[in-house]
Every structure is written in structure tokens, then in C-alpha cells.
Amino acid sequence: MPSPSKNRATFFSDPVRRFGITSVVLLILLAIAPAKNHFSEWRHYQNSYLAMIRGRGDAVTLQRHFQSGIQQIWHPELGAVDRCTSCHVGLKEASLTDVSAQPFRRHPIVPHNIEQFGCVMCHRGQGVATTVEEAHSSTLAWEQPLLPARYIESSCGQCHRAPLTGTPQLNEGRKLLASSGCVHCHNIKLPEGGTLQATDDPPSLVHIGDKTNREWIFAWLKDPQAYAVSARMPNFKLSDDEARDISG
């Protein structure tokens, strides 16, 4: 009885049979690519968008503005590629104020042109991605994951140094950085050069040794609020050895 290995060798020895099998495999592989594109996530969202606007009073206008396929904004000076609008297709449509579902609702009014600035400059995330998981999820290999909405004002500070009317949290954060003594230890560089300067007036420590002793300084460093509830100095969670070294 012939061995299985000999049967396989005989089966593939026929060049016509080998050609036929190879052709079938190649056809299957070629069919996978368009099928994958047809059932892609971004296409699903675009089809859902078209279904959503169908029947609206402004459907004709919205359909005229709609562009199918992967959309891309390229920032050559930043080396950034932005494909977010492949799914977020309603960002620029002023008439979609009644739509709250993502990714179809319009973007809040901002003084920046989306075609010029894109999305990743403010929102971060993986702009080249075309799936929700890859675009939105944080990975160890990506240094700028998508910013939660509560932190989005911080992106304005990348370019705008003066206080802005639409960024109350950013303005307050800058004020606290300068007034709470953070910059006495943290060197915060400004985009135009130089560093952020403190606006607080910390007490002088020149004669601290004349007024206190090592035990008092140690206790103060360990927990300032335990000595004075109104103390502005934060608790740095120093270990006993660290507090002892500083107070010595």
C-alpha cells in the first residue's frame, strides 16, 4: 500500500494540477481584499450616515456634501495624517445640530478650519487608523493617545499663550501653575522660548533655622496640613528618610 507521503508527491507531481490549485488559492486571496474593504468599519459608518440623513429636509444638501471612501487630511509640516473624517462625516454640517449620536454629530463651533487643522492636532489619537479601536484606544507604542473630553482644552495651550474666552479650565490651570509655586521646581517651557515664571511670593527660608528646630521641620515636611489646615504647601508624601535628609 503506497505511503501518504508518496501519495502527496504523486498528487502534486502533475503540473496541470499544481497550476489549478495555485490559481484557486490566488483567486481566494484576491477575493479577500475587496471583501475586507467592502465590510470595513468606516464603510459601515458611511452607509449608516446615508441612511440617517435619508428623509431629512436637508437630505439633498447633505448628500451633495458627502464624499465616500477614506478621507484624509495631511499635515506635511507636522508629519501627521488625519483620517478621522472617514467615519466622522457630519463634522462640518451646521444643520446637524439635532444629531447627538457619534460619529455623526457636528463639531462645536471653533475658530479653526477642519480642512486646514484636522482632528489629531487637538484630539490626538492615531490619525492614520481607520477603525475605532485603533484610532481611539491607547497603546504603549503610541505616544499621543486620544484625549478625554475633559482634557481637550489643554490642546489649545499648544499654540495659544494668552487666556482664551472658551477655555476656562486651561486659563485656571495656567493661573494655578504660576501662583501655587509649581514652577519653583518644575521647569515649564513656553513655545516662544523662555519658561513660565512664578507669580506667588513664597516665604523666605533664610532664617528658618533660627525660628524652628529639626523636629518641627521634619513634621512640617511630612504633612503641612497636620500643622496648619490652611497651609498651601502640598503633602509630597515624603518618606521618613527623605524628610529627615531635607530637615537636617
pLDDT(87) > 90: yes
User: For the whole prediction, is pTM greater than 0.85?
Assistant: no
Lowest mean per-residue pLDDT among 22-31, 227-236, 239-248:
22-31
Per-residue pLDDT, averaged over 194-222, amounts to 79
**Rounded Cα–Cα distance for residues 247 and 225 (Å):** 17
Residue 86 has pLDDT above 90, yes or no: yes
> Which residues are CB-neighbours of 158 under 8 A, at least 6 positions away?
121, 191
With 90 as the cut, is the pLDDT of residue 12 above it?
no
- In three-state form (DSSP H/G/I as H, E/B as E, the rest C), the secondary structure along 115-177 is HHHCCHHHHCCCCCCCCHHHHHCCCCCCCCCCCCHHHHHHHHHHCCCCCCCCCHHHHHHHHHH
**pLDDT for res 104:** 93
- Taking alpha carbons only, the member of 198, 201, 234, 240 closest to residue 219 is 240
Give me the residue spans of the domains in the chain: 4-38, 41-147, 208-247
